[in-house]
Amino acid sequence: MIEPLGDLTSAQTQVALVVLAGLAALLVVGLDTTWRIARSVVTIAHEGGHALVAIASGRQLTRILLHSDTSGVTVSKGRPTGPGMVATAFAGYATPPLLGLGAAALVAGDAVPTMLGLAIMVLLGTLVLIRNVFGVASVVLTGAVVTVVIAYGSPTTQYFFACFVTWFLIVGGLRTVVEVQRKRARRSSPTSDADQIQALTGVPAGIVVAIFGLIGVISLILAGNLLLSWPPLT
């Protein structure tokens, strides 16, 4: 449970932590200096989404690469067209906000330890598939941060961190959608996920990007509603 801070009640403490975590996430995502460092975490979620859906759709996953410029590549073998390939391409930008929404549901259900434990499991699963040194270092460092919070953080610290991760995945995911659209406008990203989906389905890439953005916005609204609910969901 959440520890009261000073004279605050549990409900007030919850709201204060949720808001502070959201402001911290906005700061990290909004500042280019911190975003260049933290963006790798969103890339891990992005590429992990590609990988999970590729496996679920029957494709053979070959490798995941995470680069120092915070970009990433997931390579899988299978039919070059069809629903499986479309779903795999679509999963990247959809995964970070959906993971954030799932994290919000666990936090709202008073299951912060479960949420943090699942984060470690997801990172371990991704680590097995990484095939370059920078990618391994990024996943290990992220996992180390989560492990330290689990091992040494008080319940209040863990709650704040869980809320931060929730906001960060959603807001960070939205920023990557904005970034890919800007690159597309400059014609510097002709092989983006949205363009691949356009080639596979005929749906205009601009509409695909808009759908990515809509998923992020809806996830943000729902996550906010979950995190600010009181008492915690059962």
DSSP letter string over 174-187? HHHHHHHHHHHHTT
How many residues would you count in the chain? 234
Six token digits for residue 149: 């919070």
Is 11 contained in some domain?
no
- Structural domains in the chain (count): 1
* Angstrom distances, CA of residue 182 to CA of 177, 179, 185, 197: 9, 5, 5, 17
Is 111 contained in some domain?
yes
Residue 8 banded pLDDT, cuts 50, 70, 90: very low
State the burial class of residue 53 (Cβ atoms within 10 Å of its Cβ: 0-12, 13-18, 19+). buried
Cα–Cα distance between 70 and 42 in angstroms, integer?
A: 9
Is 65 contained in some domain?
yes
Q: Pick from 67, 93, 89, 73: which is nearest to 178 by CA?
A: 93
Q: Where are the alpha helices (DSSP H) in 186-233?
A: 193-201, 205-227
| pLDDT at residue 174 is higher than 80 | yes
pLDDT score recorded for residue 11:
74
For residues 137-149, average pLDDT:
95
| Candidate from 41-50, 66-75, 149-158, 195-204 with smallest mean pLDDT | 66-75
| Candidate from 6-20, 30-44, 125-139, 182-196 with smallest mean pLDDT | 6-20
Is 75 contained in some domain?
yes
The amino acid present at 152, given as its one-letter code, is: Y
Six token digits for residue 125: 């699963």
| pLDDT at residue 61 is higher than 60 | yes
Is 5 contained in some domain?
no
75: phi then psi, degrees, rounded to nearest 5:
-115, 130
pLDDT score recorded for residue 2:
53
Extract the runs of DSSP E, i.e. beta strands, from the chain. 60-66, 72-77
pLDDT score recorded for residue 5:
46
Contact 25, 167 (CB under 8 A): yes
What is residue 130's DSSP assignment? B
Q: 73: which strand partners? A: 65
| pLDDT at residue 1 is higher than 70 | no
Is 2 contained in some domain?
no
pLDDT score recorded for residue 13:
81
Helix axis angle for 112-129 and 155-185, nearest 10°, is: 50
Domain that holds residue 72: 19-227
Residue 122 or 232, more confident = 122
Is 123 contained in some domain?
yes
pLDDT score recorded for residue 205:
92
Residue 234 banded pLDDT, cuts 50, 70, 90: very low
pLDDT score recorded for residue 3:
52
| pLDDT at residue 14 is higher than 90 | no
For residues 116-135, average pLDDT:
91
